[in-house]
Amino acid sequence: MTEIESLQHKLVQQLNVIYKNVELAINSNELANVLINTMGIDERGCTPTPHSNHWSEQDVVVITYGDSIICANQKPLATLSEFMDNHLECINSVHILPFFPFSSDDGFAVIDYSSVNDGLGNWSDIKTISAKRRLMSDLVINHCSSRSVWFQNFIKGEGVGHDYFFTANIDADLSAVLRPRTSELLRPTKTSKGSQYVWCTFSHDQVDFDFTNPQVLIEFVRIIRQYLDAGVCIFRLDAVAFLWKIVGTKCINLPQTHEIIRLLRTLIEHARHDAVVITETNIPNTQNLTYFGNANEAHCIYNFSLPPLLINTLITGNCLYLKRWQMSMPPAQDGTTYFNFIASHDGVGLRPVEGILEENELDTLVKTMKLFGGKISSRTCENGKQKPYEINIALIDALQGTINGKDNLGLARFTCAHAIMLGLEGIPGIYIHSLLGTENDYEKLENTAHNRSINRHRWDYQKLSALLADDRNIHSKVLAALTKLIRIRTNQKAFNPNATQFTLHLGLQLFGFWRQSRDRKQSIFCISNITDQPIELPLAELNLIATEIWFDLLDGGVIHDITAVYWLEPYQTIWLSNVA
């Protein structure tokens, strides 16, 4: 059997699972051939090696909008490229949030998947960036803009896209549907075929696709091929948990959704062996873990529980819940890893800590974030009641104090959060506004009336450059502190995303874990004081090997007595390594 025949056989099996209960106008063999041809795979393609890790300790991702930094008389993507070259040379990967023409949701209501937003630049700018750094792009696969040509054709009842969208009967029982919004699920739309009710998981400007139509799948494979040709090698599947809908179910995490992700991974890694698929599934932790499959689905999953748990730890001075969660997390098998982050363009999701944080802890977290200027977004529960879904706040503001109020330890607390995240198993992603210490943007919040705008500031490049050149201000201090951490992290084999990790038991005021390189030559003990008081660390509790010399990678010191008591200042982190 040739490689193409083997690939076709696998795709047919996957398609039979996806469309088991769907009557198709095309059989699975024909559809598999169309997908292979659309992806441009032939006998010269690559057969992926199972359980391959396409990442290392050197991988760090900066998350940014294409226009997070702007400069007069220059396209924002060119400005972004220049800024990264000048200030983020230690970061080898970039996630540019949707850079396509859009109508709402800051890019996530895509009008045209095949074009770059003219206000940002063009495909040449994208290729310039992807030539220097690994590029992550969003595949906004659940929905598109109601202003797209496809949806306009749906209204007309003819042309490409006229049958791309999911509709339901207005009288259908949709009470079981789970979604993160409070708006009406169905959008009444006048079409050439009469009034139809279009499914809208997120907003009425974001109309959901109908993947029971294989033409939608073919269309997205064509889009993926275009992105690969532009240098994209990491695909973030946005809101993918909601992809497949069956009336009468929760319409989330359905088996067909999982199988579509497996099929897309199959095609993508046959087209480019080192390409990576990341699923963005902001759902309870145990459900999120299922998107690894058996190392045959997502290469990476977002570690959505980490942001709320880490913030909770640092404002309470108690690592109980973070520690419990970390101990329960399975090591990612080869071919998979976690994508760690503690801030993003969205808020701090609370669904991922359902069943982890107790209600009183959640209430305290929400109350404290409100005290620090944050906003709270809600969702409608099955009982019809409103429940906090997401905290919207800049991370630098979220960590400006504790549950007792604001203090002067914000920078130390903020740095500690990133030191913990950078040491953990997985690939770290750092939001550009965390790297820059950007505070809550109340002006943008007022202008848009959308809570998420509070953490989507747009910097003027000249003003930002002046601030970063002055080491007395918070923005310069933050970038210097995080750059130092990143430079150290990327040189430690024990910080390989799949290196061994064990949680240390040092009480509830010290959070610690041990990493060991895959060749077992390097060990690093990562320990953080997560309180606002000095804490003593008896080194004897770490069982440091006496025949090794131990170095603190962060301050350059050497441990001469492995039985001594080591004092950690408030929010201080140490990375004790047997390799300098």
Whole-number Cα distances in Å, 452 to 78, 222, 388, 457: 25, 31, 14, 10
Are the C-beta atoms of 566 and 527 separated by less than 8 Å? no
Which tokens in the block code for residue 88? 């983020």
* pLDDT exceeds 90 at position 12: yes
Q: Indicate the helix (H) or strand (E) that contains 396.
A: helix 395-398
What residues have CB less than 8 Å from 303, skipping those under 6 apart?
Answer: 338, 339, 340, 341, 426
Closest CA to 216 of 6, 34, 11: 34
306-316 vs 359-371: helix crossing angle, rounded to 10 = 80
Query: What is the distance between the alpha carbons of residues 403 and 301, in angstroms, rounded to a whole number?
Result: 30
> In angstroms, how far apart are the furthest CA atoms of the chain?
81
User: CA 291, 148, 458, 77: dihedral to nearest 10 degrees?
Assistant: 90
- What does the pLDDT look like over 287-321, one tens digit per residue? 999 999 999 999 999 999 999 999 999 999 999 99
Q: Indicate the helix (H) or strand (E) that contains 419.
A: helix 410-423
Q: Which amino acid is at 496?
A: N
Closest CA to 283 of 364, 387, 389, 370: 389
CATH code linked to domain 500-577:
2.60.40.1180
Question: Average of pLDDT values for 325-345?
Answer: 97
Q: Is 229 a catalytic residue?
A: no
Catalytic residue among 67, 125, 138, 238: 238
Residue 382 or residue 413, greater confidence: 413
* pLDDT exceeds 80 at position 383: no
Quote the pLDDT of residue 380. 74
Neighbour count for residue 69 (Cβ, 10 Å): 24
Quote the pLDDT of residue 46. 75
What residues have CB less than 8 Å from 457, skipping those under 6 apart?
Answer: 68, 394, 433, 438, 441, 444
What residues have CB less than 8 Å from 449, skipping those under 6 apart?
Answer: none
Whole-number Cα distances in Å, 127 to 132, 238, 298, 380: 9, 22, 25, 42
- What does the pLDDT look like over 101-119, one tens digit per residue? 999 999 999 999 999 999 9
DSSP label at 107? G
- What does the pLDDT look like over 25-41, one tens digit per residue? 889 999 999 999 999 99
Quote the pLDDT of residue 359. 93
Neighbour count for residue 446 (Cβ, 10 Å): 10
Q: What is the pTM of this model?
A: 0.96
User: CA 242, 243, 245, 249: dihedral to nearest 10 degrees?
Assistant: -30
Query: What is the distance between the alpha carbons of residues 91 and 431, in angstroms, rounded to a whole number?
Result: 12
Quote the pLDDT of residue 45. 67
Domain ranges within the chain, ordered by starting residue: 500-577
Which tokens in the block code for residue 368? 């404290």
What residues have CB less than 8 Å from 165, skipping those under 6 apart?
Answer: 150, 151, 154, 198, 199, 207, 208, 209, 210
Question: Average of pLDDT values for 546-560?
Answer: 94
Question: Average of pLDDT values for 524-532?
Answer: 98
Quote the pLDDT of residue 378. 86
Quote the pLDDT of residue 355. 92
Query: What is the distance between the alpha carbons of residues 350 and 347, in angstroms, rounded to a whole number?
Result: 9
